[in-house]
Amino acid sequence: MKRIRSVALFYNSNRRKALAYAAAIERRLRSAGARVRRVCVNDAPCEIEKADAAVAVGGDGTVLFAARHVIKHRIPVLGINAGGLGFLSGAEQKDFLTKTDEFLKGGFKKIKRSLLCVSVLRGGRTVSGPLPALNDCVLRSSEARAFTLRASYGGRFLSEYFGDGLIIATPSGSTAYSLAASGPIIMPDLEVFLLSPICPHTLTHRPIVLSAADELRVTVHGSRSGPQHLALSLDGQENFTLEPGDTVLVRRHARSFEMLAPRGFDYSDVLRRKLSWGER
């Protein structure tokens, strides 16, 4: 990786810890000779200028925000955890402050993560998208009523789901909402989709892993008790209203999200530390 001379610094102004971390990181970057542009995730919309790298200080939500805004510029992102679990973070703040010179010299490694490319079709035409999602896209009702979704994969009927909704996740998103819906953990270097039903009204519906080589279509059939509007959420941050008959088209995005991490970064270690994986 080439030397980093300019950095886009993302932070959440509603988090005191993130603000303090961002200030300390900005001072350290500037003292090492880097140009820094601050980007507050609470100020939307925002335009991101070209930078050699981005640093996202906060929880996974800050990294997800940064990912959507840098993808068109192909800017790699280093997540600095100042939130909760921080599955998308590549480093802790105290570690980064001691490795800033290594970071700016291009000594961190790039880890590619797959993205979803999501569009909404209504009456045969695209009304939303295509838009990227790093973790997941979720279809669910804003009302306490189950509804029907019809899914096809690779042009063939897959299944009909009746329940509270459906999560379509990337491997990165397998440790997010999908995990709470009893979905499996998937190693992040795999090119797959994960479909996890939300409270399905049948005991035989379980999460399924599909190759990302084909496209997935999910059509809204509504509630058995009458029409209802549904919500489509991308990474919990971009939200749209769906109507009966709408189809959500999901493909693998042509671009990847480039995550930065120190050379010794190991995903298995992340699982053990953050999920107490394998502990008795």
Catalytic residues: 60
Taking CB atoms within 8 Å and a gap of at least 24, the contacts of 44-49 are 48/8, 48/73, 48/75, 49/8
What span, in angstroms and rounded, lies between the C-alpha atoms of 220 and 243?
7
**Residue 120, phi then psi, degrees to nearest 5:** -115, 125
**Residue 62, phi then psi, degrees to nearest 5:** -70, -40
What span, in angstroms and rounded, lies between the C-alpha atoms of 162 and 270?
35
CA 50 and chain centroid, separation? 21
Whether the CB-CB separation of 5 and 52 falls below 8 Å is answered with yes
What span, in angstroms and rounded, lies between the C-alpha atoms of 5 and 3?
6
Quick one: which of 146, 141, 161 has its CA closest to 204? 161
